[in-house]
Amino acid sequence: MTFRRTKIVATLGPSSNSPEVLEQLILAGLDVARLNFSHGTPDEHKARAKLVRDLAAKHGRHVALLGDLQGPKIRIAKFTNKRIELAVGDTFTFSTSHPLTEGTQQIVGIDYPDLVKDCGVGDELLLDDGRVVMRVESATGDALHCSVLIGGPLSDHKGINRRGGGLTAPALTEKDKADIKLAAEMDLDYLAVSFPRDASDMEYARQLRDESGGTAWLVAKIERAEAVADDETLDGLIRASDAVMVARGDLGVEIGDAELVGIQKKIIQHARTHNKAVITATQMMESMIQNPMPTRAEVSDVANAVLDYTDAVMLSAESAAGAYPLEAVQAMARICAGAEKHPTSKTSKHRMGERFQRCDESIALAAMYTANHFPGVKAIIALTESGYTPLIMSRIRSSVPIYAFSPHRGTQARAAMFRGVYPVPFDPAELPPEQVSQAAVDELLKRGVVEPGDWVILTKGDSYHTIGGTNGMKILHVGEALI
Ligand code: G6P
């Protein structure tokens, strides 16, 4: 039996909120549902989350819930007539004192007092994800006067970035702080922090999450130029997070599209070596907002991320607001499975030349070495409390499936996002110790993933329910009496 290893994250929105569509997405292989806190009310998010969990349970599937904080995206204010059209060579002003609802052809307000401090003459400003570009020609105490380099329409609340990064708004806004509490109330499995600048933003988010009583794993969205400016900052950010997202929209705008592919590969690789999960996001299937089929370039983009060994690929507007949410999930599933057939998806370097930091890491990696080199091994069972042991295992390339056996709902859901990891509800503490191995293997026999004669690897610790306690591995011969 072969399974798709790369996981699919889909953003929910008007196109996918109905029970019928959501159910189809789950049946088509949705692994993580993303709730975008930039839109919608707390009650709407709660209703959506409940629907996802109910439908997943109905079909015996594990679907994680990821809340995505809005973050300090800096936006222009509003125009009197909603929208203007700018031509190359026009002059245009951003003002921190202009009334916020009275933008004109010449000037618009902006609710970001540090704009003038953060930008200077010669800087390039990118509006609406880079569709409109301006250069700062002069600055006063409350305004930047610019000339338009690339023209186009500009409408209410469009985002603004500075080429090269450097807009200093702190990562967590008051709304984000309220949404961290909401995430705890909703018992979300993942929480994505937008625009973190460095490790300290993630540490602060973690503190707020802990204070709110939440247990969501924190995802750092890598989307500022300064986050990838040097390895020290990037690795610090990764270490301070549980997972990262290559958030290619703003990142591409700030560092330029030509740099993006190399940086994507680097972020994925660094996340994996730090034992963190990684999602590749934004515009993966953009044309499927209007079309039932992806372009060849989009197919290639998704496949490339799979070959880079991302844990998950993500749909944004394609599933939230597009005309073909189901087709988009199906196309992703198909492309992932296809790309995984490539030999580089299965061959691992096993971290040769590196030192392991921890006992559980050593066992997890020993298990992967064995799985990849002992031909009869058809599955790995990791007894896990938090999902950490299977997470480390899945940092190693392999074609052997990793089953995360855990009694905890949250762990089962979280593990659904790890590449090549499949959650199985299982509580070893309910069994006499000598029956655990047999019962675990029986679960896989029941699911038809192994048969008598196959080998299975099982990892666990000396006591049940100890996070980080994995210290042993067994190689079990299916069909024999196991203890
Ligand atoms: C289960 C096993 C324990 C092991 C733990 C590891 O609870 O019964 O023996 O120590 O998983 O959990 P972790 O969260 O570190 O993967």
Question: How does pLDDT run across 300-320, given as a tens digit for each residue?
Answer: 999 999 999 999 999 999 999
Clarify whether residues 185 and 124 are in a common domain: no
Separation of CA 72 and ligand 1 centre (Å)? 38
Task: Name the domain count of the chain.
Answer: 3
Band of pLDDT at residue 248, cut at 50, 70 and 90: very high
Answer yes or no: do 179 and 328 share one domain. Answer: yes
pLDDT interval class at 483 (50, 70, 90): confident
- Specify the residue with its C-alpha closest to ligand 1, atom 7: 465
What is the overall mean pLDDT for the chain?
A: 96
Residue 167 is predicted with a pLDDT of 85
Report the distance separating Cα 134 and Cα 207, nearest Å: 38
> What's the confidence (pLDDT) of residue 170?
87
CA-proximal residue: ligand 1, atom 8 (nearest): 464
pLDDT bucket at 449, cuts 50 / 70 / 90: very high
Catalytic, 75? Answer yes
Query: What pLDDT does residue 1 have?
Result: 55
pLDDT band at 3 (very low <50, low <70, confident <90, very high): confident
Residues 291 and 189 in one domain: yes
Query: What distance in Å separates the CA atoms of residue 474 and residue 374, rounded to the nearest whole number?
Result: 13
Helix (H) / strand (E) containing 66: strand 64-68
Say yes or no: 326 and 416 in one domain.
Answer: no
Could you tell me what percentage of the chain is helix, strand and coil, using 3-state DSSP and rounding each to the nearest 5? 35, 25, 40
**Is residue 447 among the annotated active site residues?**
no
Claim to verify: residue 256 and residue 389 sit in the same structural domain: no
Verify that 247 and 315 share a domain, yes or no: yes
353 found inside a domain: no
Domain span at residue 472 reads 359-478
* Residue 53 clears pLDDT 90, i.e. is over it: yes
Q: Which atom of ligand 1 is the closest one to the Cα of 463?
A: 9
Q: Which tokens is 268 given?
A: 């994925």
The answer to whether residues 203 and 63 belong to one domain is: yes
- For ligand 1, atom 9, the nearest C-alpha belongs to 461
From CA 150, how far away is CA 139, in angstroms rounded?
A: 20
Q: Angle, to 10 degrees, between the axis of helix 325-339 and the axis of helix 296-308?
A: 50
Cα 51 off chain centre by: 21
The stretch 59-74 carries a mean pLDDT of 95
Helix (H) or strand (E) holding 222: strand 217-222
**Sheet containing 124-127: which strands, arranged edge to edge?**
107-109, 91-95, 143-150, 132-139, 124-127, 160-162
Please tell me which residue in 46, 61, 73, 75 is annotated as part of the active site: 75
Which is it for strands 143-150 and 132-139: parallel, antiparallel or unpaired? antiparallel
Q: Using CA atoms, how far apart are residues 7 and 364, in angstroms rounded to an integer? A: 21
316's tokens? 């944004």
Which residue's CA is the nearest one to ligand 1's atom 5?
384
Q: Do 57 and 102 share a domain, yes or no?
A: no
CATH number at residue 228: 3.20.20.60
Strand 107-109 and strand 91-95: the pairing is: parallel
The band of 2, judged by pLDDT with boundaries at 50, 70 and 90, is low
Rounded Cα distance, 323 and 431, in Å: 49
146: burial class by Cβ within 10 Å (0-12, 13-18, 19+)?
buried
61 is catalytic: no
Does residue 76 sit within a domain?
no
Residues with CB under 6 A from ligand 1: 360, 383-386, 388-389, 428, 460-461, 463-470
Residue 354 counted as domain residue: no
Distance CA 231, CA 238 (A): 10
| pLDDT (tens digit per residue) in 340-377 | 999 988 889 888 888 999 999 999 999 999 999 999 99
* Ligand 1 atom closest to Cα of residue 471: 10
User: Has residue 156 been placed in a domain?
Assistant: yes
| Cα distances (angstroms) measured from residue 432 to each of 258, 475, 483 | 58, 20, 10
Rounded alpha-carbon distances, angstroms, from residue 403 to 159, 378, 463: 42, 11, 19
Among residues 5, 7, 34, 162, the one annotated as catalytic is 34
Say yes or no: 458 and 421 in one domain. Answer: yes
Whether residues 93 and 240 fall in one domain: no
Q: Are residues 149 and 232 in the same domain?
A: no
Active site residue 282: yes
Calculate the CA dihedral of residues 116, 117, 123, 128 and round it to 10 degrees: -60
Report how far residue 170's alpha carbon sits from residue 159's, in angstroms, rounded to the nearest whole number.
16
Protein residue with its CA nearest to atom 6 in ligand 1: 384
Kindly state whether residue 203 falls inside one of the protein's structural domains: yes
Ligand 1 atom closest to residue 465's alpha carbon, by position in its atom list: 7
221 in a domain, yes or no? yes
Residue 91 and residue 154 in one domain? yes
Secondary structure element (H or E) that encloses residue 195, with its range: none
Rounded CA separation 66/30 (Å): 12
